[in-house]
A = this chain, B = another copy of it.
Amino acid sequence: MKKTLLLLVGIVLFFGISFAQEDEDAFKIREIYDVALTEGQCYDWLEYLTQKVGPRLSGSTGAAAAVEFGKQTFDKMGFDSVWLQPCMVPHWERGKPSSARIVNSGVIGTQELKVIALGGSGNSGALGVSAEVIEVKTIDEAKALGPRARGKIIFFNRPMDPKQISTFAAYGGAVDQRVHGPREVGVLGAVGAIVRSMTTRIDDVPHSGVTVFREETPIPAVAISTNDANMLSELLKKESVKINLQTNCEWLEDKLSYNVIGEIKGSEFPDEIILVGGHLDSWDVNQGAHDDGAGVVQSLEVINVFNKMGIKPKRTLRCVWFMNEENGQAGAKKYAEWSNAIPEKHIAAIESDRGGFTPRGFTTEADEKVYKTKFKTAKDWEALLGPYGLTISPGGSGADVTRLKPQMGLLFGLKPDSQRYFDYHHARNDVFENVNRRELELGAAAMSALVYLIDKHGL
């Protein structure tokens, strides 16, 4: 009887405490959202980064200014330490805008097509290259051209699949053309490459992005607007088309740049690191507002929210603004190399690099040996995050944090609504005005809530 009573008391205490725990977490998360939505600074930081600093491609003066802005801003945030981590970044310059003109069509005349050089493109020389255009839908189709590709301009024209609900899935299904297409046809002797812009929109805005060459000399490679891609494709059904493609890009010597890092030492478990971050560099043709201005200011907002609430983290909290995600990931490589070598223990790393849109949750990945257990722990937090529209699901984390996998932590990617991201991605319209304040702040709040739970309960 006495035992039964003790057991009962035990059960009541256990559930009582566990309910109280959940209540306290729920209460704190509500407070996190209140602070982010009423005392957030991320929108103002984004305004500065996009409007004052502006474009910040690796190696550019804009990138250097961005690092300086980062350092100065971090210095005001009450970190225990702030430092710049050096890394050598590739230095490619677009030069004057590229052009592509149809030079042999009676239908179109010498109409100028809406194109933008791909990051990494070669230089055509002042007169450009003039050649017949061959349209393909896949890299395999391009490879199958064999010697027929020689002296030609290859036009990669497989659209992102609009039927995919996640636009990232559609991007993943098409972007190989942009990343690897130009090199593959360059190897075959093609003199240029034109790639359909990576967007589901049908409009006049071309979208840049990285294209990768190895030891070969890069050929001129441009993205073409979807409207002009459709027009060119129609024209090719009727007649042979010759295009003059002119690019002014230059590969310069690698340059010294930096990751910006701030750290608050954990009061109880200083060896357990929780990282929040995004990438500081952007393409040169826009303000990098969604990609990835949003991510860097959201990750710093986590610190601001903790400061405002007076939360002293039990675990070490590190905010990292990575350099050179767009065309080389030199910053991410340097950080992981250094941290994995020590070795440090990142129990979690959260990246925001999918735009400042309404957050829908987090994707997660880890070394397969630990994934199941750690995912389960995080998944259980859905009960607390669900009221804010957030889910925890499997998926990629982010290009800047995925190399920390050997440390056996759980890696997260903030997952915002994806519908509008590729309207702006790597294009001239990725500007401050296209970021909504509330959406941005809600993303920062979601990250703060997750960090709060990881810091409190471990992972």
Chain A: residues with CB nearer than 8 A to chain B?
A: 33-34, 37-38, 162-163, 165, 167, 200-201, 358, 360, 387-389, 417, 419-420, 423, 436-439, 442
Contacts and interface: CB of A to CB of B under 8 A. Distances in A.
For A34, A360, A417, A438, the residue with the greatest tally of chain B CB atoms inside 10 Å of its CB is A438
Contacts of A417: 358, 417
Nearest to A162: B37
A38 B162 contact: yes
Contacts of A34: 163
A163 B37 contact: yes
Given A358-B417, A358-B419, A165 B33 contact: yes
A319 B388 CA distance: 33
Contact of A419 (B200, B201, B388, B439): B439
Given A201-B437, A417-B417, A437-B201, A165 B423 contact: no
A43 to B, nearest CB: 10
A38 B419 contact: no
Nearest to A391: B389
A327 to B, nearest CB: 28
B165 A389 contact: yes
A116 B38 CA distance: 27
A36 to B, nearest CB: 9
22 contacts: A33-B163, A33-B165, A37-B162, A38-B162, A38-B163, A162-B438, A165-B387, A165-B388, A165-B389, A200-B438, A201-B437, A358-B358, A358-B417, A358-B419, A360-B389, A417-B417, A419-B436, A419-B439, A419-B442, A420-B436, A420-B438, A423-B436
A132 to B, nearest CB: 31
A299 B100 CA distance: 42
Contacts of A389: 165, 360
A445 to B, nearest CB: 9
A162 B387 CA distance: 16
Given A37-B162, A419-B436, 10 more contacts: A33-B165, A38-B162, A165-B387, A165-B388, A165-B389, A165-B442, A167-B438, A358-B419, A360-B389, A423-B436
A442 B200 CA distance: 14
Q: What are the 3 closest A-B residue pairs judged by CB atoms, nearest first?
A: A419-B438, A34-B163, A37-B162
For A201, A420, A423, the residue with the greatest tally of chain B CB atoms inside 10 Å of its CB is A420
A387 B162 CA distance: 16
A13 to B, nearest CB: 33
A226 to B, nearest CB: 12
A165 B359 CA distance: 11
A165 B449 CA distance: 14
A437 B423 CA distance: 10
Nearest to A445: B165
Contacts of A388: 165
A323 to B, nearest CB: 31
Contacts of A200: 438
For A33, A38, A437, A439, the residue with the greatest tally of chain B CB atoms inside 10 Å of its CB is A437
Contacts of A436: 419-420, 423
A118 to B, nearest CB: 25
A403 to B, nearest CB: 30
Contacts of A165: 33, 387-389, 442
Contacts of A201: 437
A387 B163 CA distance: 13
A439 B358 CA distance: 13
Nearest to A200: B438
Contacts of A387: 165
Contacts of A37: 162-163
Contacts of A420: 436, 438-439
Nearest to A387: B165
Contacts of A442: 165, 419
